[in-house]
Amino acid sequence: MGKRSKLIAANWKEHPKSAAEAFALFRAVAKAPRAPGVEVVVCPPFLYLEEVIREFKRMAPPARAQLAIGAQDVFWEDQGAYTGEVGPAMLRSLGAKYVIVGHSERRRFEKETDAMINKKIAAALRDGLNVILCVGESLSVREKGVDVAKKFVAQQLAKDLKDVLPKAGSLLVAYEPIWAIGTGRSDKPEDAREMALFIKKLLKQTKQISVKFLYGGSVNGKNAADYVQLNDIDGALVGGASLKADEFKKIINAI
């Protein structure tokens, strides 16, 4: 069996503080060598998105190979009286290829519900964006066992993907156990692989689709290979470590 393609997504969240820092970080990441079959997706804040994409388009074609830009969120309407929101058509017209939807921080701080996430996914897919859907359980759920965590994630997926039938390759599922995000406490690779197999089998049965599985939650240069070198884990969604160019390069090189 041939080596499976891998994807590493950088979620910059609300970083960095200045545009100059953002562009310097992007240029450094863009220069990092990428092995064949490895795609790197950079997701800056909306404020820097247009200029980062402009910088991306200025790069020579070989430098753009296996590199893409994504957004950290999207609204479910293309336009309208929705102050502060950014629609999928806007992102697509800029040149964004991916969008993160349902991150646990938005579920927590912005009070996003599964119904809202469902509408965002449907809209993003309709306008041709590739969706990175984030799911994952809290510590209180995980402490009840992996089987309980699987049930929780299955319920999230059922609600988030209700009446949604993604085209092949347009949906990626990022499993980010909430208790592992930004805590330095990552999931065991074998447990993450078990969740990957569970999610892939579930979506194959319920949606007749194959998806890429990304692991997220305190991924860094030291542990990235433990996850992404497993056949059933197709990559990683990286938070804090993606803000340090040298650390992020180590993650890319780990594949």
Task: Give catalytic residues, as residue numbers.
Answer: 103, 176
- Name the amino acid, one letter, at 231: N
Q: Around 139, how many Cα atoms within 13 Å sit in the side-chain half-sphere?
A: 7
Would you state the torsion angle of the CA atoms of residues 183, 187, 189, 193, taken in this order, to the nearest 10 degrees?
-130
What are the start-end ranges of the E strands in the chain?
Answer: 6-11, 38-43, 67-71, 98-101, 130-135, 171-175, 212-216, 235-238
Contact 135, 195 (CB under 8 A): no
Place of tokens 């949906």: 171
